[in-house]
Structure 1
């Protein structure tokens, strides 16, 4: 069974599978609260690797890059529930409850929390809607989202500095950011947003910094990294093409051969 995902009201997400799956969308645009029912989720992000295990919660901060690997348990399917805490819904809660952040959050972008009985009961209450795809009207959705926010703040009130920070990313050093994050297969619009620039400003600053347009630089950088991993580290091409920013294996093989005059297998010395 391939990964099956149900989404209700654009806020409640339920995923299950008996097969190992990679998440292909690396951008986390909104704050996210995930609860692991069975199996594990390995999240590879700018700060390292975070492993979400059974009965654990993950609070992921918005506006960051991350790849995921979804691993079923030995005798159970992979199951995770997630709540997308959108800016609009958080702003509604903040206005209704006169809530503001009182400082800039400087901690980890991925926070692991053990799920207590309050959280497990909360996510259990969502299962009938997600497993049976039952309708959930906007009023009830707001109530359930407000309940989740209350539980998060009850756990640690300081987390309000994550939830209610509605500022946009500030302009940062472009060269350092891109050298650290080129392997994320995301759009130029996302790279622009995360570096605190408009798309036009990003392209202009990028060309000035690297002396070539971003699309060409990303291709060159990803191919160079792939060559290093295959030639020097002896990695199998099928194991690394996603990790260096390619979404399609056929496309990866084609552009690799165009660049280096040989296929990845030939670089490995395999006929």
Structure 2
């Protein structure tokens, strides 16, 4: 399978492939602005599934878990380019322009943009660095991030309430969060961070909510979901084990048999 995913400079990333492939679980620590040059990205997150179609601009929020499947089109390879809007640059921009937030940005709002002439010109300006026909001076990377910020605020001034919200992550409902995100194969440290807790605080609060350790609960929760999908939805183990956070099929089979006393074919 031929695929490429690389960092062009520290804030610009480019991904391409001639075949469909599944990406790894990703924790998104910073906002980023992305452009689907060709093909489609199917992104799975706690609110469901989002399909990013060709020629679409998308702003992806920070501090969330995402799993992707990347599909080339019938006539072109898969290509996606993104630029990171890091906190340091956003803080500096807010200070320089005396920007404060008014109200929290709604969590449910979709962040897609029509690729108007400004966005098209912006991403076209990144092509020489993707194709490596030009090398980027150190200061230009910061300027390209600032340009992205300007375009986003031009398209929707209310985005300042998202981009410049630097409040610390607060403790969120651990039970609700885990029931929405249990299928992501990430470390307990990452779950702790996303719920606004230290690792020790997360384990303590987790025990109060579930009366089990995080690892034990995650394994049982994933297996119960697998049982339901196999029995009631006629799903094949090979089609669901990765989606439920298992790293390999043999481990899934042995864990399933140990948990329920039957094989997947006997359900």
Q: Give me the TM-score of the superposition, normalised by structure 2.
A: 0.93
Identify the residue that residue 103 of structure 1 maps to in structure 2: 103
Determine whether 1:13 maps to 2:13. yes
Asked if structure 1 preserves the Cα contact closer than 8 Å seen for 2:207 and 2:213, the reply is: yes
Partner of 1:217: 217
Contact 1:103 1:161 in 2 (8 A): yes
Give the structure 2 partner of residue 179 of structure 1.
179
Q: Per the alignment, in what secondary structure is the counterpart of residue 41 of structure 1?
A: strand
- Any conservation in 1 of the 2:71–2:78 contact (CA below 8 Å)? yes
Distance in 1 of aligned mates of 2:166 and 2:77: 36
Match of 1:122 in 2: 122
Shift of 1:262: 4.5
1:110-259 aligned at under 5 Å gives the runs: 110-132=110-132, 135-259=135-259
- Aligned mates of 1:155, 1:17 — CA distance in 2: 30
For residue 134 of structure 1, report the CA deviation from its aligned partner. 5.2
Distance change (3 Å), C-alpha of 1:8 and 1:109: farther
Q: Where do 1:5-84 residues align within 5 Å?
A: 5-84=5-84
Deviation at 1:212, TM superposition (A): 0.9
Is contact 1:4–1:17 with CA below 8 Å preserved after alignment? yes
Q: 1:3-46 CA distances to partner (integer Å, 9 max, x unpaired)?
A: 21121333111100011122212322110111001111111222
Measure the CA separation in 2 of the matches of 1:49 and 1:91: 31
1:109 Cα deviation after fit:
6.0
* Cα distance in 2 between the residues matched to 1:267 and 1:11: 50
Q: CA deviation at 1:248?
A: 2.7
State the aligned residue count: 267
**Matches of 1:2 and 1:42, distance apart in 2:** 19
CA RMSD of aligned residues (A): 1.8
- Report the TM-score when normalising by structure 1: 0.91
- Displacement of 1:110: 4.4
1:91 maps to 2:91: yes
Is the 8 Å Cα contact of residues 6 and 130 (structure 1) preserved in structure 2?
no
1:79-130 Cα distance to aligned partner (Å, 9 max, x none): 1111111112212222233223222112436411111111111111111212
Contact 2:229–2:235 under 8 Å retained in 1:
yes
